[in-house]
Each structure stands twice: as structure tokens, then as C-alpha cells.
Structure 1
């Protein structure tokens, strides 16, 4: 297992370099001058002298690869520069809003697990029943509807019409309900279908027939054998959901004015706060890579077939 982890870590190094280069070059090919943007964002006058001084401070007159090397070296040290808007270190700005995004993502993940697993299991056990057909219809609709539309619909129903929940901001638990439900609904639909399909596939395996011949209780067969094997193949999807949920808060936070990293990035995009945008890209990429690595290690540990295939190479 140690060798596998080392190989996986080595394999992601080129990916990390590619992402850092992409994040750097995207900002450098924009038509506007970062030095002029840094001056104008605070309503200051961008005189030629001020632009020249700012370019020197930001190192924009250096050759391209020198700037990339300096930026990459500082980024490795978690020094992403200062925000053009707040003049504070970008890392401090990210750490200030990151807990709110993690809170929203984890709340959504809990909702996904609590709802999708039981309904997916019941839908498979009672295949082609009225319950199963209803679930499949709802899943189809839930998968097709975009998050922003769901969010607006929930605001209209629970805030405008029923006046039960707040529409925006971050305060008590009530403020978390609508954003977390909105963020989780699409994933609930996806995982209900995934679990149902995996359950039905495992129900056709020989070990299920053998368990029935042995006279095991149906409940035991479903929960201890079929569900267990079905969940194995869902771990990758569930693991990557953490990264997807954090990235997906970008839209949800803007709808509900949730003060997380998505809102910070939206503000940075509109104000062309390039250091914050670059740091956001790197953070999201790093989260995806780490989640993917952790999921692969878990699968290697719990799946003998995967372990045997990798060790044989």
C-alpha cells in the first residue's frame, strides 16, 4: 500500500504544475493591465507614474517565466499576495470565509447520505413498484433541474409565501436550511439512481442466490451483503462529492448571500481582483486532487480486486 500511495502522489505532481501554470497564464492573458486594475479598484487615479510604480511592485516587468517562478515559489509558501480590494493577504481572506463554505458543504453532504442511501435501497428492493416508479420520476426531475432554479423556487415557497425561513445571510441554523437543501437536491437524485442501479446489479450476483439457499433472512442479505458491495462502488462518487459540493457553493452562495468562498470569488471576478481569483483556482484544484487521492487510497484498502490488480502490475 505504501508503494501505491507514493506512485499516486508522484503521478499528481505534473497535474499540479499544469494547474498552477494555467491559473497563472489565464490572469496574464486578460486584456486589462493588472497594475491599472489594482489602482482603479479603489477609485484611485491610474496615472502613468502610478501604473509604473505598481508594475514594479508587482514584478510585472519581469520576463514571463521569471514571474511564473516567483509566483509559484510564493504560492507554495501560501503567499498569494494581497487582495486588490481589501489590501489584506489573500490567504487571510480565504481562511476568513472558508469555514462558512465547509459548513454549507458538510450540511449538504449529511443530507445527501441520510436521504439517498435509504431511498436508493428501498427503490431497488421494491423494483417496479409504485414507490420505485415515483422515486425514478422525482430523480429524473431532480437531476434535470439546475441548482439556481431550485434555490429560487425554495425561496419563493418557504420565504415569500410561507415566511418560514430567511432568504439570505448567515446566522442561526435556519439560515443554513435552504442553501444546504438547494445544494444537495441534485446530488440526492444522482446518488439515489446510482445506489439503486448498483443494488440491482448486485442482486443478480451468485452470492445472493447462495445466501437465499442458505436460508438467510432477506433483511440480512440486503443490508449485510448487497448494500455493502453496492456502497463500495459508490465510495468514489461520495468522496468526490465533497470537492464538488465545495466548488458548487459558488452559485448557491450568490443566491442566498452566504458569506463563503464562492461569494468572495464572485466579488473578485467582478472587481478583477486577480490574486484572489488565482488563489481560488489553486484551492479548488487542490481540494479535488486531495479528495481523489483519498478516495483512491480507500478503494485500494477495501477492494481486494483493485488491490490485486494494482499489485500485479
Structure 2
């Protein structure tokens, strides 16, 4: 375990160095000039001399590699800079919006689990039955429908027509329901079919027949043996698709005006707020890396055969 963590630590250093350079380069090469936002050119009359003076003061006239080196030194000191628009520290702004994003992510994952586990399990236990057909149709619809379109339907249905739930802002549990349903249902279709396929593969293994020959109940065989054996592929796919989940969070936050860091970074992109965009990319990259590391470790726990192979390799 210690060797794995040391290797992961070395990987994260290389990964963060790569992602900081690439993100810094692409952000700076994107169209637009943040000095125009800082000076409020749309509202004030600003001369070209003032624009050039501010560009020199902010260091935008220096070569990109020099700008990146200066930014990297600040990053090593955990200084993400200040927002060009609000003047607040970037880390403070991200930490302010992070709880709302985590709430929405947790709510979406809860919806996904409540939908995919029962449907996937029933589809596997009743293969080729009407339950399996219904789950297949629902999963195809869920995978095909974009999250923003599903969100618009929910807003029109539950917010406008029936006026049951709020459609904007963050004000208690009711405000969380529609965004969580939108994102959770959008990602659950893939996991319904994946869990069904993995369960069918597990139920056909020799150890399942051996468990039945020992007289174990079908419920115990399913929960303790087949279901656990089917989890590693599902968890692996979840780690790979985490990026799309984060992208879905951004879309849903903008759609429902949910005050998380997703909506925050969309506003930052529109205003060319470089420090805030860079801080968001780094936080999300670190989050994805941590989750993928946890997925790898859980995979080793759920698959003892893999753990045995690693011991043989190190011995």
C-alpha cells in the first residue's frame, strides 16, 4: 500500500505540472483581453495608453514562459492570486462556491445509485423479461437525452406549470431536488446497462454455482458474492467518466442558477478572469486525481485476485 501511495504521489506531481502548463497556455491563447474587463471599457472611455500601461503592470507583455514561471512560483506557495473582476482571493471564492457544488454532486450520485442499482439488478435477475426491456428503454433514453434538455423539461413541468419546486438559486433541500434529478438521471442510464452486464457475468461464474451447492440462500449469494464481484467494472467506469460528471455539474449549475463553482467559472470565462479559471482547473484536476486514486484502491479491495498478483510482482 505504501509503495502504491508513493507512486501515486509521484504521478500527481507530474500530472499537476502538465495540467498547469497546458491550461495556462490555452487560457492565455484564447481570444479576449482581460485588461478590457478590468478597465470596464464598455462603460468608461479608456485610451490605448492606459490599456498598455495596465498590460505591463499585470505582466501580460512578458513571454508566456516567464508568465507561467511566475504563476507557478505563486502556486507552489498556494497563492492562486486575486480575481480580476471582484478583487477577492481566488481560493476564497472557490471555497465559497465549493459546498454548493459538492451538494449537487452528492445529490446527483444519490439519484444515480437509487435508479441504477435497482434497475440494473432487476434487469439481470429477470433477463429478457418485461422488466429487462423497460430498463433497457429507460437507460437508452437517459443516455441519449442531454442534461440541459432534461433540466428544461423539469423547469417547465415542476417549476412553471405546477409550481411545485423552485427552479433557481440555493435555498434548502427543495432547491437541490431538480438539479440533482437532472444530473442524476442523465448519468444513470449508462450504469444501469453496465451493472446489468456485469451482474450477468458474475452470476455465470463457477463460484456462484459453488455457493449454491453449499446451500446458501439466493439473496445471500446475490448480495455477498455476485453483486460484490460485479462492482469493479462499474467503479472503474465511474472513475473514467468523472470528467463528464464535472462537466454536467457546470451545465446544470448554469441552467438552474445554482451558486456553485461551475457557474462561477462560466462567468469567469466570459469575463476573461484568468486567475479564477486557472484555480478552478487545478482544483478540479486535483479532485479527479484523488477520486481516481480512491477508485484504484477500492478496485484492489474488491478484487483480491489483483491484490495477489501485485504481491507476486513485488516479491
Provide the TM-score with structure 2 as the length reference. Answer: 0.92
Task: Report the counterpart of residue 221 of structure 1 in structure 2.
Answer: 221
Unmatched tracts of structure 2, length 5 or more: none
Contact 1:41 1:271 in 2 (8 A): no
Q: 1:127-180, CA deviations, whole angstroms, 9 ceiling, x for partnerless residues? A: 111111111111111111100010011111112222211111111211111000
Q: 1:22-67, CA deviations, whole angstroms, 9 ceiling, x for partnerless residues? A: 1111122134343344323684443334324322332223333221
Task: Report the counterpart of residue 119 of structure 1 in structure 2.
Answer: 119
Distance 1:30 1:187, change over 3 A: closer
User: Superposition RMSD on alpha carbons, in Å?
Assistant: 2.0
| 1:7 counterpart = 2:2 | no
Contact 1:168 1:258 in 2 (8 A): yes
| 1:186 counterpart = 2:186 | yes
Task: Report the counterpart of residue 35 of structure 2 in structure 1.
Answer: 35
Larger CA deviation: 134-143 vs 42-51: 42-51
Unmatched tracts of structure 1, length 5 or more: none
Provide the TM-score with structure 1 as the length reference. Answer: 0.92
Contact 2:105 2:249 in 1 (8 A): yes
Aligned pairs, number: 313
Task: Report the counterpart of residue 73 of structure 2 in structure 1.
Answer: 73
Deviation for aligned residue 1:240: 5.7
Deviation for aligned residue 1:285: 1.4
Q: 1:47-96, CA deviations, whole angstroms, 9 ceiling, x for partnerless residues? A: 33432432233222333322111101212333222212111111111111
Contact 1:169 1:256 in 2 (8 A): yes
Larger CA deviation: 137-146 vs 69-78: 69-78
**For the residues of structure 2 that align with 1:78 and 1:57, how far apart are their CA atoms?**
22
Task: Report the counterpart of residue 270 of structure 2 in structure 1.
Answer: 270
Q: 1:178-211, CA deviations, whole angstroms, 9 ceiling, x for partnerless residues? A: 0000010022111111111110001110111112
Deviation for aligned residue 1:117: 1.3
**For the residues of structure 1 that align with 2:245 and 2:27, how far apart are their CA atoms?**
25
Contact 1:142 1:186 in 2 (8 A): yes
**For the residues of structure 1 that align with 2:209 and 2:244, how far apart are their CA atoms?**
37
Contact 2:32 2:272 in 1 (8 A): no
Distance 1:64 1:269, change over 3 A: closer
**For the residues of structure 2 that align with 1:165 and 1:31, how far apart are their CA atoms?**
39
Larger CA deviation: 295-304 vs 283-292: 295-304
**For the residues of structure 2 that align with 1:103 and 1:55, how far apart are their CA atoms?**
39
**For the residues of structure 2 that align with 1:122 and 1:24, how far apart are their CA atoms?**
47
| 1:103 counterpart = 2:100 | no
**For the residues of structure 1 that align with 2:42 and 2:305, how far apart are their CA atoms?**
58
**For the residues of structure 2 that align with 1:2 and 1:95, how far apart are their CA atoms?**
30
Task: Report the counterpart of residue 138 of structure 2 in structure 1.
Answer: 138
**For the residues of structure 2 that align with 1:62 and 1:139, how far apart are their CA atoms?**
52
Task: Report the counterpart of residue 198 of structure 2 in structure 1.
Answer: 198
**For the residues of structure 2 that align with 1:46 and 1:99, how far apart are their CA atoms?**
39
**For the residues of structure 2 that align with 1:28 and 1:305, how far apart are their CA atoms?**
47
